[in-house]
């Protein structure tokens, strides 16, 4: 592809992207294809000769697009959002064009220095104290793994990486069943083992970690010769928004010398609004915190921010400095590849810089406040509707519900049929969870371009589909 062709197809892609975004409301939210349908349209062998871009682009529209679920659709109410504000997409295009490998300061000084600045912008925006620094990870999963590895090394007096875990005392990490499954995976990858992830029961409407049981479990493990290493708390858990009492958990962590990591991957974005910060009161006591601007704040995926109280502990856990990665003649620089598991790093800070400057905190606060208000209004409408019940009340913009008409023997199966009918209808997209062993339908408002009328339409879809499956 020569320069003129590159210009043409770049413009073509940009124009296509604008048309795509403008047409989203006319499309079904979730892909309507059957398993294997897309694969059957794709050649079984790779091409030997070059193909014209016109054909490739046409195949993209005709073959690939029908199999895509539209995460930027304004009526995407499933999972959590993976927002990509248009300004973030523009920034991501610039990152892609430059294609820099930003692993070290010297490999792109602007990438490192901008990352440092926007991390501090976000620290201020969330009301975190000045003692926190941070790093942009690819996802909350990677941030949590980095935190678990740091817990492990600190508990083993920094000998785990050197000696391995064989022969070491068994470590224990504490969390509730409301945390994301990435915590389980981090425990596996860190070599700690799932049997050493201690599940602490929850209490109250927010499904908070029971602090008394947590401390009793720590003391019991010490008495049995285990080594408590850390606690993973959550604010806005994925299932129904489970939120721990961070101040109470932090006090126990401090008392027993445990590392505290707080997973606020979704809900952390809401902390740019001062009125929501009570949900993580005591957060200054955490050792690390993760939140995903690529969920609710509008940054193009992937972009996860990990705030860290003591970066030296993280760097001591993860840094490897072979000769070919040293930066000679420069002092006091940060190499963010030493703060994460992967060596390679994309220029993720640029989209945050564009996003924060183009929208400003007040506009982003207004968006989040609207989402919370609209979700609350919808929850009340569903609760008041005959034959429906709220399973969990709104935590910010997330709640869950069930359809409970009379005469239905298996309500779990009935609600699964309702969910399938809603998603096959195509106007909105919802997902499910289980609450206290019962099937429930999740609803969250968070898409960047959603309007109140989109949320109102969700009510019409839910109630009409409930009538249709009786």
Tens-place pLDDT, residues 340-362: 888 888 889 999 999 999 999 99
Residue ranges in 196-256 assigned as alpha helix (H): 211-223, 246-256
Give 15's pLDDT tier (boundaries 50, 70, 90): very high
In terms of domains, do 317 and 398 share one? no
Residue 231's pLDDT is what? 96
Tokens of 394: 């709104």
Tokens of 338: 């030493």
- Residue 143 lies inside a defined structural domain of this protein: yes
In terms of domains, do 21 and 117 share one? no
In terms of domains, do 421 and 435 share one? yes
Which of 26, 77, 80, 84 shows the shortest CA–CA distance to 456? 77
For the segment 148-156, the average pLDDT, to the nearest whole number, is 92
In terms of domains, do 114 and 58 share one? no
Radius of gyration over alpha carbons of the chain, in Å?
A: 24
Residue 407's pLDDT is what? 85
Report the C-alpha dihedral over residues 164, 168, 174, 177, rounded to 10 degrees: 70
Give 321's pLDDT tier (boundaries 50, 70, 90): low
- Residue 296 lies inside a defined structural domain of this protein: yes
Task: Pick the more confident residue, 340 or 276.
Answer: 276
- Residue 93 lies inside a defined structural domain of this protein: no
434: domain CATH number? 3.90.1150.170
Q: How far is residue 374's CA from residue 314's CA, in Å, rounded to a whole number? A: 40
Helix H, strand E, coil C: the string for 130-162 is CCCEEEEECCHHHHHHHHHHHHHHHHCCCCHHH
- Residue 92 lies inside a defined structural domain of this protein: no
HSE of 430 in the Cβ direction (CA atoms, 13 Å)? 30
For the segment 159-166, the average pLDDT, to the nearest whole number, is 84
In terms of domains, do 379 and 332 share one? no
In terms of domains, do 4 and 53 share one? no
Contact 388, 402 (CB under 8 A): yes
Q: How far is residue 209's CA from residue 176's CA, in Å, rounded to a whole number? A: 6
Residue 328's pLDDT is what? 42
For residue 415, give Cα distances in angstroms to 79, 380, 390: 17, 19, 13
- Segment 300-318, tens digit of pLDDT: 998 999 999 998 888 888 8
Give 177's pLDDT tier (boundaries 50, 70, 90): confident
Which structural domain range is residue 433 located in? Answer: 1-30+69-82+362-470
Q: How far is residue 291's CA from residue 142's CA, in Å, rounded to a whole number? A: 12
- Residue 88 lies inside a defined structural domain of this protein: no
**For strand 133-137 and strand 304-308, is the pairing parallel, antiparallel, or unpaired?**
antiparallel
Those residues whose C-beta lies under 8 Å from the C-beta of residue 258, and which sit 6 or more positions away, are 151, 174, 218, 228, 229, 230, 231, 252
For the segment 251-263, the average pLDDT, to the nearest whole number, is 96
In terms of domains, do 172 and 306 share one? yes
Give 326's pLDDT tier (boundaries 50, 70, 90): low
Contact 106, 328 (CB under 8 A): no
Give 253's pLDDT tier (boundaries 50, 70, 90): very high
Those residues whose C-beta lies under 8 Å from the C-beta of residue 235, and which sit 6 or more positions away, are 243, 244, 246, 262, 263, 264, 267, 268, 279, 280
281: domain CATH number? 3.40.640.10
Adjacency order of strands within the sheet including 133-137: 133-137, 304-308, 288-291, 259-263, 227-234, 171-175, 197-199
Q: Which of 322, 346, 370 is the last residue in one of the domains?
A: 346
In terms of domains, do 198 and 337 share one? yes
- Residue 449 lies inside a defined structural domain of this protein: yes
What is the number of domains present in the chain? Answer: 3
Give 396's pLDDT tier (boundaries 50, 70, 90): very high
In terms of domains, do 406 and 459 share one? yes
Q: How far is residue 124's CA from residue 121's CA, in Å, rounded to a whole number? A: 5
In terms of domains, do 250 and 268 share one? yes
Beta bridge partners of 259: 230
For residue 322, give Cα distances in angstroms to 101, 229, 319, 338: 17, 29, 10, 12
For the segment 205-217, the average pLDDT, to the nearest whole number, is 93
- Residue 96 lies inside a defined structural domain of this protein: no
pTM: 0.90
Task: Pick the more confident residue, 194 or 167.
Answer: 194
In terms of domains, do 311 and 417 share one? no
In terms of domains, do 410 and 330 share one? no
- Residue 56 lies inside a defined structural domain of this protein: yes
Task: Pick the more confident residue, 1 or 90.
Answer: 90
3-state secondary structure of 83: coil
Which of 445, 381, 369, 440 shows the shortest CA–CA distance to 411? 440
- Segment 419-445, tens digit of pLDDT: 999 999 999 999 999 999 999 999 999
**For strand 171-175 and strand 197-199, is the pairing parallel, antiparallel, or unpaired?**
parallel
């Amino acid at each position: 592809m020569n320069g003129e062709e590159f210009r043409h197809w770049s413009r073509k892609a940009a124009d296509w992207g604008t048309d795509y975004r403008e047409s989203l409301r006319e499309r079904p939210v979730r892909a309507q294809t059957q398993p294997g349908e897309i694969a059957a349209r794709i050649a079984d062998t790779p091409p030997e000769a070059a193909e014209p871009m016109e054909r490739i682009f046409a195949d993209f529209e005709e073959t690939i697009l029908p199999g895509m679920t539209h995460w930027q659709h304004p009526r995407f109410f499933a999972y959590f959002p993976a927002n990509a504000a248009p300004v973030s997409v523009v920034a991501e295009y610039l990152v892609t064009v430059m294609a820099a490998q930003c692993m070290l300061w010297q490999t792109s000084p602007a990438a490192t220095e901008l990352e440092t600045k926007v991390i501090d912008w976000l620290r201020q925006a969330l009301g975190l104290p000045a003692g926190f620094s941070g790093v942009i990870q690819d996802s909350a999963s990677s941030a949590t793994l980095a935190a678990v590895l740091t817990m492990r090394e600190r508990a083993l007096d920094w000998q785990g990486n050197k000696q391995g875990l064989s022969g070491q005392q068994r470590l224990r990490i504490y969390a509730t069943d409301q945390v994301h499954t990435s915590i389980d995976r981090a425990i596996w990858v860190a070599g700690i083992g799932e049997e050493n992830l201690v599940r602490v029961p929850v209490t109250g409407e927010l499904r908070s970690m029971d602090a008394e049981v947590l401390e009793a479990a720590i003391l019991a493990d010490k008495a049995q010769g285990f080594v408590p290493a850390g606690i993973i708390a959550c604010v806005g858990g994925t299932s129904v928004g489970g939120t721990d009492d961070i101040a109470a958990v932090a006090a126990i962590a401090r008392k027993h010398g445990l590392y505290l990591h707080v997973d606020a991957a979704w809900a952390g974005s809401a902390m740019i609004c001062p009125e929501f910060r009570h949900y993580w009161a005591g957060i200054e006591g955490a050792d690390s915190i993760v939140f995903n601007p690529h969920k609710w704040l509008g940054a193009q995926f992937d972009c996860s921010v990990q705030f860290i109280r003591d970066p030296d502990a993280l760097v001591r856990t993860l840094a490897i400095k072979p000769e070919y990665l040293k930066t000679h003649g420069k002092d006091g620089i940060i190499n963010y590849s030493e703060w994460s598991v992967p060596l390679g790093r994309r220029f993720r800070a640029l989209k945050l810089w564009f996003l924060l400057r183009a929208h400003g905190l007040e506009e982003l606060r207004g968006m989040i406040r609207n989402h919370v208000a609209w979700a609350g209004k919808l929850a009340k409408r569903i609760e008041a509707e005959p034959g429906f019940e709220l399973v969990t009340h709104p935590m910010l913009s997330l709640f869950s519900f069930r359809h409970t008409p009379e005469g239905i023997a298996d309500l779990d199966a009935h609600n699964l049929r309702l969910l399938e009918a809603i998603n096959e209808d195509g106007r909105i997209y919802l997902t499910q969870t289980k609450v206290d062993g019962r099937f429930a339908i999740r609803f969250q408002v968070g898409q960047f371009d959603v309007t109140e009328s989109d949320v109102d339409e969700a009510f019409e879809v839910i109630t009409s589909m409930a009538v249709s499956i009786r």
